[in-house]
Amino acid sequence: MKRNFFLPLTLLVLVLTTNLDAATYTKGVGVYFDQDMFTPLLNEDRDYTMGFAVEIFKDKGTNIFDGVLCDIAKHLDLHCTNNKSARSYIFGSVNYTPDNIGSVDSVQDDRPYASLLYFSSKRVIASKNSAVGIELQAGFLGLKVGEEIQEYFHEAWRGVTGKNEPVDPRGWRHQISDGGEPTFRFRFNNLNLLKNRHQSSDGWDSAWMWDTSVGYQINASAGLMARVGKIRSDIWTVPYDPINRGNFLPATKGNEWYFWIAGRTRLVGYDALLQGQFRNSDVTFNSSDIERLVLEGAFGLTGGYGPLQVTLAINGKSAEVKSGAADRNHYWGGLYVMYRY
């Protein structure tokens, strides 16, 4: 485990001990990796077990959401021409498993295997005091890629540690929409500054946020986040949960660091990753089994030096199901690396 964190921790130490003038950046490429093995004291190799995404940011150009987003932003006292506006494209994957991944048979009292391979188009308008994001995501549930990624990762981990665990998952044929099924999600996100106290770019600030999603997940959330440290960017941005949700943008200034913490309460209406979609699935939960209020939170350390920005994060979520073995909290770690130019 120490070897896995040596490189990102070295990069963060370099950020914290360096105080050079920074360039201003307008574009970026992000590589995001969520993995429950990044939380060794809490890791159970289950629930949201892995996520991976690559995001490409551009500061110019248009997409089909520009007109809609700018109209919405004007009602929130934001203007596309006066703030940092960026579009991005994301290619990613999220994967869920039950606790007993060694079973060939379906595990009926635990959360189902589920995988999503997606492509999304996102637009964000950000200022020093706020950020507004709109995203359309399209993808496939139930493809074999989730199984292949997990098997490869487990095999590599056993090769490094010399142990017999983690075992290969044997129940992916029971996943939601096994064989593949198209899906989509539309998401709107808003964040506004509450209070700040900066002295020569050192200090703290806080913000409130809310979002809503319609599609394979129907839900809405509201929460708070705060950060403290050497804050140099002229936009409000925190790399909180960039694979699943978030209006994250690359910081426009290079040399900064800050600790951050975030929490939100989510009201859940429907979740295809638990309840299934249109195709029959071997394991699903009824609507009455779904936990309607879910607590989510994270804390992390973000540092930027020159064109590189690195974040280490610990994420958690309360139980999403009311009954059975799936009625439990789960945790995962995140490593998010951004190259800006």
Residue 193 is which amino acid? L
Using the Cα atoms of residue 68, residue 70, residue 74 and residue 75 in order, give the sign of their dihedral. positive
Q: What confidence score (pLDDT) does residue 43 get?
A: 73
pLDDT at 146 over 50: yes
Query: For residues 218 and 230, what is the distance between their CA atoms, to the nearest angstrom?
Result: 37
Placement of tokens 């589920």 in the chain: 114
R_g over Cα of the chain = 20
pLDDT at 129 over 70: yes
Instruction: Name the architecture of domain 2-340.
Output: Beta Barrel (2.40)
Percent of the chain scored above 70 by pLDDT? 87
Q: Where are the domains of the chain?
A: 2-340
Please tell me the pTM assigned to this model.
Answer: 0.88
pLDDT at 199 over 80: no
CB-count exposure of residue 287 (10 Å: 0-12, 13-18, 19+): exposed
Least confident of 197-206, 208-217, 288-297: 197-206
In which element (H, E) is residue 198 found?
Answer: strand 181-199
The pLDDT tens digits of the residues spanning 220-272 come to: 999 999 999 998 887 888 899 999 987 788 877 768 899 999 999 999 999 99
Query: For residues 335 and 210, what is the distance between their CA atoms, to the nearest angstrom?
Result: 24
The pLDDT tens digits of the residues spanning 263-305 come to: 999 999 999 999 999 999 999 999 999 999 999 999 999 999 8
Query: For residues 159 and 163, what is the distance between their CA atoms, to the nearest angstrom?
Result: 8
Mean of pLDDT values over 128-157:
88
Q: Taking a C-beta distance cutoff of 8 angstroms, is the pair 98, 171 a contact?
A: yes
Placement of tokens 């492509």 in the chain: 119
Tokens of 128: 């020093």
Instruction: Name the most confidently modeled range: 50-54, 60-64, 232-236.
Output: 50-54
